[in-house]
Amino acid sequence: MSKAKIDKEQVKHLADLAQLELTEEEIDKFSEQLSGILGYIDRIKDVELSKDVKRNFKNLNSFREDENPFESGEHREAILEEMPETENNMLVVKKILNK
């Protein structure tokens, strides 16, 4: 299927980076699944493209202009009034990172 293979040690390393605890069964399963995904990606290399294919890059930015943009900060007071806790015109949130 794929030349690229994700082994158990690589899955354990990825799980460690993502702060996940995996069972041995999950490690085996994810190793197989990730290797399969890489196999599909490798298949892209086998796609033959005609050299005379032309692409239309005329519509790169198809976003419309704002018709009625509001002023920056226009709704700040109303939003802050709805927040459970604020400090210096900012929302106070629970710390989620260990730094």
60: in domain: no
Specify the CATH number for the domain of residue 38.
1.10.20
Number of domains in the chain: 1
58: in domain: no
Amino acid (1-letter code) at residue 51: K
22: in domain: yes
Cα angle 89-91-97, degrees, rounded to a multiple of 5 = 135
17: in domain: yes
25: in domain: yes
pLDDT greater than 70 at residue 12? yes
Q: Is the pTM of this model over 0.85?
A: no
67: in domain: no
15: in domain: yes
Q: What is the pLDDT of residue 64?
A: 74
Element (DSSP H or E) covering residue 87 = strand 86-87
Domain around 41 = 8-46
Go through the chain and tell me how many residues it has: 99
pLDDT of 16-67, one tens digit each?
999 999 999 999 999 999 999 998 888 887 887 777 777 766 766 677 777 7
